Amino acid sequence: MSDSPRILYCHCNYAQVVPEETKHSVLKKLSDSGAAFDAVADLCEMAARKDPMLRQIAEGGNVKIAACYPRAVKWIFGGAGCALKQSSTQVLNMRTEETEEIAATLLDGELVPNLPADKDGSKPAPHELPN
């Protein structure tokens, strides 16, 4: 299906904040599905080196990203100078969501945008800052 959202899977290699079992299960389900997807070792590391792939994703069409918190993913891209579009991005949180739900949502072809709103994707809005 050509209008299906692009799928991006982050293995969160360096932060090690996502449970290993969750990462491996989601990746296996994606691989077994036969669906096209991009898998990256670590979005944070890519942002630190300003990888051009981040801009390609941010400027592309609809995207579903399996990583961590939506606000963190938004800040990762924004910090690299390529803010994600709020209306065309859905982030699945492998830190808190169940593997089955993540995989099913990534593969269902429907996009439910969930990036938090603010004026500047490169930094958190005041109400998003930790107390």
Considering the domain boundaries, does residue 68 fall inside one?
yes
pTM, whole model, 2 decimals?
Answer: 0.87
In a domain, 124, yes or no: no
Task: Report the candidate in 38, 39, 125 with the shortest Cα–Cα distance to residue 74.
Answer: 125
In a domain, 36, yes or no: yes
Q: Is residue 53 helix, strand or coil? A: helix
- Least Cα distance to 65 among 5, 2, 131, 23 occurs for 5
The domain tally of the chain equals 1
What's the pLDDT score for residue 120? 54
Pure H helices in 7-68: 20-33, 43-48, 52-59
pLDDT, one tens digit for every residue, the chain (131 residues): 457 999 999 999 987 889 999 999 999 999 999 999 999 999 999 999 999 999 999 999 999 999 999 999 999 999 999 999 999 999 999 999 999 999 999 999 999 999 998 765 555 555 544 44
Per the structure, the complete domain to which residue 50 belongs is given by 6-113
Examine residue 126 and state whether it is found in any structural domain, yes or no. Answer: no
